[in-house]
Amino acid sequence: RQVSSAAVDASAWPLVLLRWPAGAHDDALVDEALEAVLTLPRRGEPHAILVDARGSEPPTTAELARVLQAARRVGRTRCVAHAVVT
């Protein structure tokens, strides 16, 4: 499970897998992941997101705030389930 950047895999749509790399995150990594995830509602279909954060450090307060701000921008989407594996 060697991942050097956030990887969004929608090949099993409607299940979307977001893999976080091991260790700490920087702003560029968070931006990359947010950009990819925020494109999903454009499909207009129900979907579920599974976040694989095994080996990854928890988000900082600032990173978490950015994720929540992005979620508010999108508003209600067709994401029917969201889970995080740590």
Structure tokens at 42: 């454009």
Residue 64: CB atoms within 10 Å: 12
Percent of the chain with pLDDT over 90: 13
pLDDT band at 23 (very low <50, low <70, confident <90, very high): confident
Q: Is the pLDDT of residue 30 over 70?
A: yes
User: CA nearest 36: which of 24, 56, 19?
Assistant: 19
Residue 11: CB atoms within 10 Å: 7
pTM of the entire structure?
A: 0.79
Q: Is the pLDDT of residue 79 over 80?
A: yes
For the chain, the maximum distance between any two Cα atoms, rounded to a whole number of angstroms, is: 33
User: CA nearest 52: which of 35, 2, 13, 73?
Assistant: 2
Write down the pLDDT at residue 16: 92
